[in-house]
Structure 1
Amino acid sequence: MSSEWVASTVGEFCPFKYGKGLPERARVAGSFPVMSSAGVVASHKEPLVNSAGIVIGRKGTAGSVTFAPGPFWPIDTAFYVEDDPENRDIRFTYYLLKTLGLSEMNSDSAVPGLNRENAHAVAVRIPSLAVQAQIAHFLGTLDDRITLLRETNATLDAIAQALFKSWFVDFDPVRAKMEGRAPEGMDEATAALFPDSFEETELGVVPRGWRVGVLSDVASLNAQSWTARNAPAELNYIDLSGVKNNVFDAPQTYAFSDAPSRARRVLRSGDCIVGTVRPGNRSFGFIAQADNNLTGSTGFAVLSPKQTELVAFVYLCATREENIDRLASLADGGAYPAVKPELVAATKCVLPTDDVMKEFDGMAKPLLASISANSAQAQTLSTLRDTLLPRLISGQLRLPEAQAAAEEALA
């Protein structure tokens, strides 16, 4: 460890201050985030803190650490640290607090709470301001790249969903042809695949020659599960909490004998997974590459397309906002509201001709492939950051060594 780092405590280096209550009736929507222990919960016309800062969970999500890049209002379920550029780098301070395990310092078994005195007593080692800034810049660059990849994926997903809605919900190409117009953004050969009229069905009018169906017509539900007889010695497990809006945490590796009892759903390339417990949490995702015995929780409905040209259609239909909202409205069960997997498979859809489906898959599947490639890179960066962070922030690893490790990992 570098001798240039000095011994201190959290209380000496970055004392926690108490947030201030701001009930909903007193909030006036504005440009400043209102932040609790769970992060941003609302906005307000004025901030309590006129700088960037850090919000630390005091009650509720005790010990959580959230960065506020600009002025904000921390409420009374949280502590906060404000910017003090003469004495500490605020981003370095954020990364430091992330490594201290504050969430494990719960002092109240009834209502999770973080005791400020206990947190202030935690010993830390602090480098010079210049080194703080260098470390914060390095880690911030990794975080910025991860954020950019995820924002790009959100855009790609929105494009794919917009295409699905245009073709299979609003029927824009058919309506254009009915009006004697060429469908927008579509070549003549593709436009020729669409009919120029509608017919009545139980779902209302649909393009002539198409049919009304459900997802189980085009995908198998929970096609394969591990049992004691067919299970591998080791598996890579994805839990419900490990996926949200098609963003995955790294799978957890278990010996099958040690894996959670819910680690049973076999996942294969092209599958779509939709969380059935609290479906409104949006625990859904697309499985681009299912290597190394990838396994999902029994809390997922696993939809396996029956043909390769159905992959994009199944994922985009199952994860449409309206269809996730439908599942959320049907969930019941008290503390853990859930739906049966069969309700996911029973999602209604309008099924086009094979030629249209194949054309759609050719346009949408590359978008899903790009999303998956970006996700893999983001996961690599996240793993790298999480590996380097504690050693770098404690002085056990010098910045040049961390930079070299990053270059090697990303080569």
Structure 2
Amino acid sequence: MEKVLDNAFAKAENDNVSQWNEEKLGDLIEIKYGKDHKKLNNGNIPCFGSGGIMRYVDTQLYDEESILIPRKGSLNNIMYQNNPFWTVDTMFWSKIDKTKVFPKFLFYQLTLIDYTILNVGSAVPSLTVSVLNDIDVTLPPLPEQKAIATVLSSLDTKIDLLHRQNKTLEELAKTLFRQWFYENIEDCKFEKLGNYVNTIDNRGKTPPNKPEKTNFPLIEVNALKDETRLVDYSVIRKYVDEEIFEGWFRAHPKKYDTLFSTVGSIAEVSMFLLEIGSIAQNVVAFSPINGMSPFYLYEVLCFYQRDIKEFDIGSVQPSIKVSHLMDYEIPIPIDLTKIEKFDQIILGNCNKMELNYKEIKNLEKLRDTLLPKLMSGEVRVKQ
């Protein structure tokens, strides 16, 4: 991908960049208000709030290209839509003047703005139409806008494909577990979870942390909520330095250990596949012992998640006591060769997911490096 893109770029020429025009956003788009969704029936049309998709409804608000801009809440969560959609009152949508601007180009340019600086709210972050209309937008000629958007879109398309591949691999593992083990539960014996795991537990140990990124992210509960078994490092906001990482924690998880949340959003499950970082005190790690497969362990905890949540002993907020969980009985196949075959398949899936994740990060880095350079004219697209 990088080699193909290298051939697409040229050095910027100052005289060409001077042909770019500056426009007000209000001259390029008509900003519209979202509407209440509560009376709409369920359907297959996405309904957006400022945090993302809220539900799917049966009615569209608009069906052409549009840029969605938060009115309240997560102000930097700009979205592009090219399919029918609905937005609620916390999310603006827009009609775009395509004679002046290529919609996808405008979307990418608007993602460079920090909208929190434009916040006019007090208790709740907010934007207004007048504030947004006054934003300055620099535009190259339409053909170059399209060329720039095409380059950036090709990267996003590849990233999306890799995410979908990982989701498919995850769904395959769950289907295989259900067919091989749950649907043949009579071929299993039930034994206590505690017989098959060692627990890595840093509860009561709150390390000194910092918001600046280091090589040692602190994995908290919100990072266990990805659609796949991969830890979602994009939501992590706390990091430790190497000295704290090496000396503060009781222990660190090992590759393929299962991560499990015990406080707050309880029974969230992930796998320590990438071997990056350590766990915060509301997350424990389970290392398989006594012949337990790490992949089977992960699937068991996912499959019986609803049952496990019944161990909640919290009052102010949900909480699970690990010692109670150790008494939970899980199915263990009598024929262990089934687990061995399951391991072989899922190990291959996990290896592919790991490679996909690394490629996603490389492509995101490339896109995020190119984006401001293309938008400023520092790097030009050959046409």
What TM-score do you get using the length of structure 1 for normalisation? Answer: 0.74
The answer as to whether partners of 1:17 and 1:81 remain within 8 angstroms in 2 is: yes
**Structure 1 partner of 2:29:** 14
Question: Which of 200, 209, 224 does residue 222 from structure 1 map onto?
Answer: 200
State the AA in 2 paired with 1:81.
Answer: S
Residue range with higher mean Cα deviation, 353-362 or 63-72: 353-362
Displacement after TM superposition at 1:326 (Å): 4.0
Distance 1:115 1:139 in 2: 28
TM-superposed deviation, 1:392: 2.4
Residues 1:249 and 2:241 aligned together = no
Who is 2:38 aligned against? 24
1:352 to partner: Cα distance: 2.1
Counterpart Cα distance in 2 of 1:144 and 1:328:
40
Change (3 A) 1:128 1:161: same
Normalised by the size of structure 2, how large is the TM-score?
A: 0.79
Superposition pairs of residues 102-181 of structure 1, within 5 angstroms: 102-171=115-184
Measured after TM superposition, the shift of residue 60 of structure 1 is: 3.0
Give 1:275 shift: 3.0
Q: 1:51 offset after TM fit, Å?
A: 0.8
The residue type equivalent to 2:272 in the other structure is I
Contact 1:32 1:45 in 2 (8 A): yes
Aligned to 2:293: 310
Please say if residues 264 and 297 of structure 1, whose CA atoms lie closer than 8 Å, have aligned partners that are also in contact: no
In the alignment, which of 380, 388, 399 is matched to residue 381 of structure 2?
399
Q: Do the aligned partners of residues 59 and 169 (structure 1) sit closer, same or farther apart at CA in structure 2, a change above 3 Å counting? A: same
Flag the 1:218–1:4 CA change in 2: closer, same or farther, 3 A: farther
Say which is worse superposed, 152-161 or 367-376, in terms of deviation.
Answer: 367-376
Percent identity, please. 23
Counterpart of 1:276 in structure 2 is 262
> Residue 267 of structure 1 corresponds to which residue in structure 2?
253
Determine the C-alpha separation between the residues in 2 that align with 1:329 and 1:111.
35
In 2, Cα distance between the equivalents of 1:107 and 1:152?
A: 41
Question: For 2:366, what is the secondary structure of its paired residue?
Answer: helix
1:300 is the counterpart of 2:286? no
Paired residues of 2:202 and 2:281 also in contact (CA < 8 A): no
Among 82, 107, 110, the residue aligned to 1:97: 110
Whose RCO is larger (CA < 8 A, sep 6+)?
2
Match runs of 1:77-88 below 5 Å: 77-88=90-101
Quote how far apart the aligned CAs of 1:23 are: 3.7
Note the C-alpha offset of 1:277.
4.0
CA contact (8 A) 2:311 2:321 kept: no
Q: Which amino acid aligns with 2:49?
A: S
Equivalent AA in structure 2 for residue 49 of structure 1: Y
CA–CA separation in structure 2 for the residues paired with 1:227 and 1:61:
28
Root-mean-square deviation over aligned CA pairs:
3.3
Counterpart CA distance in 2 for 1:163 and 1:28 is: 34
Following the alignment from structure 1 to structure 2, what is the Cα–Cα distance between the partners of residues 237 and 145?
29
Instruction: Structure 1 unaligned segments of length 5 or more: list them.
Output: 172-204, 401-411
Q: Which moved more, 1:217-226 or 1:61-70?
A: 217-226
Q: Which runs of 4+ in 1 moved over 6 A?
A: 224-228, 262-265
Query: Is residue 286 of structure 1 aligned with residue 271 of structure 2?
Result: yes
Partner in structure 2 of residue 52 of structure 1:
65
- Partner of 2:259, secondary structure, is strand
Task: Write the mapping of 1:337-352 to structure 2, written as runs, cut at 5 A.
Answer: 337-342=318-323, 347-352=328-333
Give the CA deviation at 1:58. Answer: 0.7
1:323 aligned partner: 305
Question: Residue type matched to 1:84 in 2?
Answer: D
CA distance in 2, matches of 1:346, 1:376: 37
Alignment length (residue pairs): 352
Q: Which runs of 5+ in 2 are unaligned?
A: 1-11, 208-213
Counterpart of 2:4 in structure 1 is: none
Measured in 2, the distance between the counterparts of 1:163 and 1:287 equals: 21
Indicate conservation of the 8 Å contact 1:264/1:296, yes or no.
no
* 1:102-153 CA distance string (max 9 Å, x none): 2453322212212333333333322221121112111111111111111111
SS state at 1:32 partner: strand
Specify the alignment match of 2:19 in structure 1. 4
Match status 1:61 vs 2:41: no
**Offset at 1:287?**
2.1
